[in-house]
Amino acid sequence: MIKLDESLKKEFKIKLQEFENKTFNKSDFIDLELLQAMVDVTKATKLECAVFLTRKNELKNLVVGENDKVNFSVDELVKNRFNGIRVIHTHPNGNGKLSNMDKRALLNCNFDCLCAIGVDDRGLTNAEVGYIYNNDVEIVKVPYAGYINKYGCLEKIDEYNKEYIKNYNTMHNTEKEQNKAILVGVEFSKSDDTLSSLDELENLSKTANIEVLDKVYQKKDKPDGKYLVGIGKLNDIKERVQLMNVNLVIFDNELTGSKCVNLEEFLGVKVIDRSMLILDIFASRARTSEGKLQVQLAQLKFSLPRLNALSTTHDRFGGGVGMRGPGETKLELNRRIVEKNIIKIEKELKKVKTQRQISRDNRQKNKTTVAIVGYTNSGKSTLLNLLTKANVYEKDELFATLDTTTRNLWLKPGKEILLTDTVGFINKLPHEFIEAFNSTLEETIYADVLIHVVDISNKNYLKQQKIVEDLLKKLKVESPVILVYNKIDKLDEEIEKENDAIYISAKTGKGIENLKNKLLQYV
C-alpha cells in the first residue's frame, strides 16, 4: 500500500512505486536503494517519507507526508504489538533525532521499533532507532545513517521483544483503562459561548468517568464540509492525540455521521459529540424500567440517521463511550430493526404514559402537585431530600438522577402537597432526548406549580436559567413558577436579591421556611 502526496512529481511517484513488490534482503534493517529513494524524495520535496516493514522485510506501507509529518496511526498496522512492524522515516530538517511525537507514536502504536533518519541538502546525516523497553523508549544512536545496517538493529528487536513479551500480560491484563480525551469546540457565531460550553462538556466527561487532558477551541466563519474544523486545527489536534496518548476526541458541536467517520480516519481514535456523550451518561444512570426504555428510545432515534457511520465506528473501535446501553446491550445497527424497535418502545412507553396519567389523576383529586425543575446539577434532588427525606441519590455531578421521584410533603397540619423531582435540563439537548423523555416531562407539564431551582453559585447561572425557561416554553408549560436560587452557602459575598425570587441552601436548610411559606399560597 503506497500513499503519496498528490502534489508529488510523477518521477518520484514512479521511483517509489518500483519498490511496492520488490523482495528485500531479510538481514538488512532497510534496503539501501529504498533508503536512497526516500532521501531523494525528501531532499526535493522537504516532505517526510516513511516505510512500514514486516519482520519478513516485506514493504507493508510507504507514505509521503502531507507536510513535514507522517501519520503513524494507520489502522491496519496498529492492531497489536505482535504484527511485527518497524517504521523508518526521514526528517527533512537534517536532524535524525527521534522527536517527542516519534516516541509517543512508538508507544501508542507498539511498533517493533521506530527509526528517524536525518536528511539535509547534502543527503544523509544521523539516525536514531527507538525500541519499547519497560514501557519507555530505549534509543540506539547511529552517527551516519548510511551505515545503519551495520548496527545490528534487527537483532535488538528480538532482544527488546523478549522483555516486552515477558511483561505483556502484566501490562495489558489489568483492569480496563480509563478513557482519556481531548475536547474540541468550534465557534461559528458571536452569540455562542463556546468556552463556557467546553467547561460544561468537561464536567459531562468527568461524569462519564473520562479523563480530559486538553481542550481545543477554534473560531470559524462556517463549518468545514468534511471535518467541521479547519485542516490546520485538525493537524494540531492530531499532534495532541499522539503526544498525550488519548483514545477519544469529543466535539462540543453536533457531528453528522459522515463527519464522525472522516474525523476518526484522520485522527486514528474514536470521535463522538456532545449528544453521544449525554446519551452515554443517560444509559449508565437509568435505573427504572421506564427510564431504561426512554434511554433506549433516545439512542435509537439518535442513531437512525447515523447508522452507516455508527457501523463503521463500532467495527473499528468496538463500541464503548457513546455506544453503551442499559445493561451494556449492543446497539442494533440494522435500519429495519431499529425502526421496528422504535415503534415497539413507543408502544410500551404509551402504556406507561396511560398508567402515569391514571396515577396522576388520582393524586390530583385531593392534593396540589409541585414539580421541581432546573438545570442539571442545580440541587433539585438535594432539595427533595431535604423537604421530604426521600433519600434520592444526589451527587455534585451532571445528571446524577434521571428517574422521577414523587413524595408527600406536609407544609403544615392539613396542608399537604405532592413534590416531584424531574430530570435536569442542559444546553444543546437534542430533540430526540426531549421526545424520548416525554412521559417523564409530563410531570412538569401537568403540575399545578413549578419550583425552578437555579444554582446561583455557577458563573453562568443566568444563562442556565434562560435555557430552562426556554425549554419550559417549548413544552408549553403554563403553570405558575416559583424561582428559587440555590447554593447561597457557596457565595463569597452578598448579592442584590430579586423581589420575586427565593434564596436558599438545600445543603444547609437556609431559606427553606421562606420556600414553604411561598408554596402554602398555592395549596
HEC secondary structure over 401-449: CCCCEEEEEEEECCEEEEEEECCCECCCCCHHHHHHCHHHHHHHHCCCE
Query: What SS3 state is found at 132?
Result: strand
Alpha carbons 387 and 13: distance in angstroms, whole number: 75
Q: Where are the alpha helices (DSSP H) in 100-152?
A: 100-109
Hey, what's the cell of 134? Answer: 519497560
How sure is the predictor about 314, in pLDDT bands with cuts at 50, 70 and 90?
Answer: low
Strand order, beta sheet including 248-251: 210-219, 179-187, 248-251, 270-273
Alpha carbons 20 and 17: distance in angstroms, whole number: 5
Is residue 294 within 8 A of residue 342, CB to CB? The reply is no
How sure is the predictor about 510, in pLDDT bands with cuts at 50, 70 and 90?
Answer: very high
Strand partners, 115: 88, 129
Query: What SS3 state is found at 53?
Result: strand
Model pTM score = 0.68
The CA R_g of the chain, rounded to the nearest whole Å, is 29
Q: Kindly report which listed range (182-186, 198-202, 397-401) carries the lowest average pLDDT score.
A: 397-401
Hey, what's the cell of 491? Answer: 457565595
* Contact partners, residue 311, CB within 8 Å, separation at least 6: 333
Alpha carbons 153 and 159: distance in angstroms, whole number: 10
**Structure confidence at residue 8 (pLDDT):** 67
What is the fold, at CATH topology level, of the domain defined by 179-277? Rossmann fold (3.40.50)
How sure is the predictor about 329, in pLDDT bands with cuts at 50, 70 and 90?
Answer: very low
Phi-psi region of 134 (alpha: psi -120 to 50; beta: other; left: phi over 0): left
Mean pLDDT, range 327-348, rounded to an integer: 73
CATH architecture of the region 366-520? 3-Layer(aba) Sandwich (3.40)
pLDDT at 306 > cutoff 80: no
**Structure confidence at residue 80 (pLDDT):** 46
Higher pLDDT, 189 or 214: 214
Hey, what's the cell of 271? Answer: 470521535
How sure is the predictor about 317, in pLDDT bands with cuts at 50, 70 and 90?
Answer: low
Query: What SS3 state is found at 50?
Result: strand
Scan for cell 440555590, then name that residue: 486
How sure is the predictor about 503, in pLDDT bands with cuts at 50, 70 and 90?
Answer: very high
Nearest to 476 by CA among 517, 444, 504: 444
**Structure confidence at residue 365 (pLDDT):** 61
Percent of the chain residues past pLDDT 70, beyond the cut: 81
Nearest to 432 by CA among 326, 310, 329, 282: 282
Nearest to 41 by CA among 62, 20, 71, 25: 62
Q: Kindly report which listed range (33-37, 396-400, 447-451, 462-466) carries the lowest average pLDDT score.
A: 396-400
pLDDT per residue as tens digits for the range 63-122: 887 545 555 544 444 444 445 889 999 999 899 999 888 888 887 777 889 999 999 999
| 83 secondary structure, DSSP code | G
pLDDT at 23 > cutoff 70: yes
Strand partners, 128: 116, 141
> Dmax over Cα atoms in the chain, in whole Å?
96
Strand partners, 370: 419, 449
Hey, what's the cell of 511? Answer: 431559606
* Contact partners, residue 462, CB within 8 Å, separation at least 6: none
Q: At what angle do helices 10-17 and 32-45 cross, to 10 degrees?
A: 160
